[in-house]
Amino acid sequence: MKKSARSFKTLLGLLISMAGLLVIASWLWE
Model confidence, pTM = 0.62
Distance CA 30, CA 24 (A): 10
Q: Which residues of the chain have pLDDT under 70?
A: 1
- Residue-level pLDDT at 1: 58
Distance CA 2, CA 8 (A): 10
- According to DSSP, residue 25 is labeled H
Distance CA 10, CA 28 (A): 27
- Residue-level pLDDT at 14: 97
- Residue-level pLDDT at 3: 76
Distance CA 18, CA 26 (A): 12
Distance CA 16, CA 22 (A): 10
